[in-house]
Amino acid sequence: MEGSVAIRPDKFGLSDEQALRKHIGFFKTVENIGVGNTYICYGDKGNAAIVFLTDDVFRIKIYQGADVDLSTTVGVLPQVSEVEVKTLENESQFIFATTTIRLIVDKSNCSLSIEDHEGHLIARQNPVGWNARGEHSADYDMPAESHFYGFGEKTGFLDKRGERYTNWNTDVYAPHVPEIEAIYQSIPLLIHMFEERSYGLFLDNPGRSDFDMRSAETTFSISCATGAYDIYFINGPGLKDVVSRYTALTGRIDLPPKWAIGYHQSRYSYMNQQEVLELARTFRTKQIPCDVIYLDIHYMDEYRVFTFDPVRFPDPEGMMEELKSLGIRIIPIVDPGVKKDPKYTVYQEGVRENHFIKKLEGDIFLGEVWPGISAFPDFTEDRTSEWWGEQHRYYTELGIQGIWNDMNEPALFNESKTMDLDAMHGNNGKPQTHEELHNLYGMLMSKATYEGLSRQLDGQRPFVLTRAGYAGIQRYAAVWTGDNRSFWEHMALAMPMVLNMGLSGIPFAGPDIGGFGHNATGELLARWTQMGAFFPYCRNHSAIGTIRQEPWSFGEKTEEIVRNYIGLRYRFMPHLYQLFRGAATDGLPIVRPLLLEYPSDPNVTNLCDQFLLGENILIAPVYRPDTDHRSVYLPAGTWIDYWTGEALVGGRPILAHAPLEIMPMYIRAGAIIAEGPLKQSADDASDESITFHIYGASASTGFESAYTLYEDDGVSFDYRQGGYSELSLNVVGGAGTVEIQWRYNEARGFKPERKLLQFSFRRPDFTVGRVEGLQRLTAEQLVAGAEGWTHNPSTDELLIQVSDQAVGDKLVVSTA
């Protein structure tokens, strides 16, 4: 028998009347409210606050009522507006102009057009509308040749045209497939590119939002379920301009400790102290470089955070001591759920001091995660974040410098997979529901962790890894892409995912190498490690119950390949570190889609099975089984095969031969790449020498190349006070000579212990007659540390070695 509930009033959702969208309506007047460059456009049914932050970035927030709240989420850094805005009014339009753009507001309906000063239309926003539930949305023009990038961590290919995504941090154990619209991270940034011109739209709203590039033919739309329509327009015209401006708004990475850029080994879980130590020793005896081992949830005492299981890990101090002597660090996992246990001090304190999220009615919100019923700290309250940060002394006092934040979407074991939407956040005195702030939770947890570690590490750089995040997460944590599987498809998926994360301000990212769930094979691990060795974040991790995935788990051949490629990462470390330094200063990604460097090449708009490391290294992984050839697209220029030294003309696809031990890699002719000696851990500073490989040098055509090598102690913040070294290198070729010139920065606040510099020319287009001031020696003499030069006929490599003098010097190589 049916009850009345069968005809419940809301059965059919919003009524037509409620669904009817309202708009600001006609534009009445505009007022400069005298704070920065803030203008209020008063409309018929609502208002828009327009804030010009720079010539190329402005914010528009739609609001009702008399007062405008111009605070932002923690995702946006405080901005100082110094731009000069000119305003102009005619009968139908109100116009704001900066030196680069004009924002035209249509008075009849408050729609917006953004143009450059040549009158090219850059973007058009139709009137923002809202329904009776306060859900806002707006449509934007989408020309036929549009491409879309950004969106943070999403499935699918690089170009998001035809896709639709939701921003709602979600623990998706499976499946990671194209139709999953929301996973762990939410970066509400859309980059629209057409005719080589790019602009970004960043919606600063931490509730649920949607970007829809699928449903309409000539427009895309952005909407949010709660909160304000608060959007930033970020001008290009270059894609790099957009990324750099977006990261000026939401922040850039801090230079990580060098060890965090090394190879990391993880497993859910290394079950006890003996196993961890055995693992560390195995890396060292097998001479596979490694910097970090992870402790997953089993290290804890019944999953209570800030504890060690007394049986499995009876002597954490002893364990840490031996690991330290091996040069390996520990990163323990920390989840947000605090076990409800009246005998557990963290829980007691949290309750007593009012740190846990509550329902409005006053009860602590309790939900189930690993420890059973748990409470959740309210990171929106600064005092709670500080309390949480302080808990980490438990680890830092043991010498731990890195923390892994998991389950911080937050993920719960219930139907909604997260916290009740009506749980309340204190939000430093401006209470809001979880529904409104959901996407901030993970980032605020990592922020609390990062800040706590920073206070405790006595001037050493902390490292935080996170699964969940919001725009700006890059300031606090590196991001791994969650629970992928040991599928070839997921290896391929990692490329566009990490590349778009880089375009979304998150350069320090990577997937679980070898795949988390399901079972890897030796071949998959070999291929995945080849690729992963060149991702900014490099960790092998696998799930409980799956086949073991450590480098030696699949026999000698796999082990050898894995060792070699991890080793290659360590040899590239000086260059990689330089790229991290770049990301910290200009916000540009470390791994890049070809599109970023070759925006006018129509072949690369959706190319995402190969990528660039920085500007000059092209990486083309093999991501299918039983495959020993693959097509590689070489962009314009000449590219040198890293393995053979062969020069190849670009602007075309080639077929690369790639047997299992080879991952195709190419270096742009004209590039210089620094390689260091092979090491077992990244902060081993005992380098004898550094080698600058000069690619495609010529003594006949006008050759010119430059490089900067940035170095510091790799662990402290001294570099902020000048404690670094910068060597600039210039190589100029022509008229029968090649000149090499180098010089360190004047106030060189850091000096590596190194003794020698090497310059290497592989298959040069000239024969060396002499090197001014240096003798021709044998390879053995160079190895023994003598200054001089040698030529290896079998590899056709000219190698010059000089002592690493304090200031700099110059060398001339002549053909005669």
> Which residues are annotated as catalytic?
406, 409, 483
Q: Indicate the Cα dihedral angle 664, 668, 672, 677, nearest 10°.
A: 0
**Are residues 383 and 420 in contact, defined by beta-carbon separation less than 8 angstroms?**
no
Site string for ligand MIG, 461-480 (x = CB under 6 A): ------x-------------
Closest CA to 731 of 692, 764, 703, 763: 703
Say which residues have a Cβ less than 8 Å from residue 6's Cβ, sequence separation at least 6.
none
* Structural element, H or E, at residue 191: strand 189-194
Residue with tokens 């990261």: 247
Helix (H, G, I), strand (E, B) or coil at 283: helix
**Least Å from the CB of residue 678 to ligand MIG:** 29
Indicate the residue among 268 and 695 with the shorter CB distance to ligand MIG. Answer: 268
Nearest CA to 349 out of 391, 381, 379, 382 is that of: 391
Q: Quick one: 268 or 388, whose CB is closer to ligand MIG? A: 268
Q: Verify binding: residue 153, ligand MIG, rule CB under 6 A.
A: no
Q: Tokens at residue 754, please?
A: 């190194």
The distance of closest approach from Cβ of residue 296 to ligand MIG in the complex, given in angstroms and rounded to an integer, is: 5
Q: How far is the CB of 449 from ligand MIG (least distance, A)?
A: 16
CB 690 within 8 A of CB 757: yes
Question: Would you say 500 or 540 has its CB closer to ligand MIG?
Answer: 540
Residue with the two structure tokens 């991790």 = 541
For ligand MIG (CB under 6 A), the number of binding residues is 12
Of residues 389 through 418, those in contact with ligand MIG by CB under 6 A are 406-407
CA distance 497 to 479: 12
DSSP symbols for 237-264? SSHHHHHHHHHHHH--PPPPPGGGGS-E
Per CB under 6 A, contacts with ligand MIG among 541-570 are 541
Q: Which of residues 157-196 bind ligand MIG (CB under 6 A)?
A: 173
Residues 327-386 that bind ligand MIG (CB under 6 A): 333
- Minimum gap (Å) between residue 313 Cβ and ligand MIG: 16
Residue 268: CB minimum distance to ligand MIG, A: 3
Q: In the stretch 277-316, what mask flags binding to ligand MIG with x, by CB under 6 A? A: -------------------xx-------------------
- Residue number with CB closer to ligand MIG (230 or 296): 296
Between 249 and 334, CB nearer to ligand MIG: 334
Nearest residue to ligand MIG, by Cβ distance, number only: 268
Tell me, residue by residue from 646 to 685, as one string, x for binding to ligand MIG by CB under 6 A and - for no binding: ----------------------------------------
* Contacts of 386 by beta carbon, 8 Å cutoff, 6+ apart: 448, 451, 452
CA distance 199 to 91: 29
How many angstroms separate the Cα of 567 from the Cα of each of 288, 610, 676, 679, 709?
7, 21, 11, 7, 20
Closest among 147, 63, 116, 1 to 601, alpha carbons compared? 147
Q: Does residue 568 contact residue 607 with C-beta atoms inside 8 Å?
A: no
Task: Tell me how far, at minimum, the Cβ of 355 lies from ligand MIG, in Å.
Answer: 23
Which of 157, 168, 259, 268 is the binder for ligand MIG (CB under 6 A)? 268
Length of the chain: 816
Closer to ligand MIG by CB, 40 or 297: give it.
297
Q: Which residues contact 616 (CB under 8 A, 6 or more apart)?
A: 667, 668, 671, 673, 695
Closest approach of ligand MIG to the CB of residue 309, in Å: 14
Residue whose tokens read 């959702």 = 13
Identity of the residue, 236 or 515, whose beta carbon is nearer to ligand MIG in the bound complex:
515
List the interface residues with ligand MIG, window 609-648 (CB under 6 A).
none
Three-point CA angle 465, 468, 469, nearest 5°:
95
Residue with smaller CB distance to ligand MIG, 301 or 739 = 301
Q: Which of 150, 257, 482, 621 binds ligand MIG (CB under 6 A)?
A: 482
Strand, helix or coil for residue 324: helix
**Residue number, 409 or 804, with CB nearest to ligand MIG:** 409
CA distance 307 to 300: 5
x-or-dash string of contact with ligand MIG, 218-237, rule CB under 6 A: --------------------
Least separation in angstroms between CB 539 and ligand MIG: 10
CA distances 424 to 305, 360, 380, 436, 565, Å, are 23, 6, 10, 10, 48
Terminal CA-to-CA distance of the chain, rounded, Å? 102
- Which position among 210, 451, 483, 683 is part of the footprint of ligand MIG (CB under 6 A)? 483
Q: State how beta strands 611-613 and 638-641 pair.
A: unpaired
3-state secondary structure of 773: coil
Interface residues toward ligand MIG, by CB under 6 A: 173, 268, 296-297, 333, 406-407, 467, 482-483, 516, 541
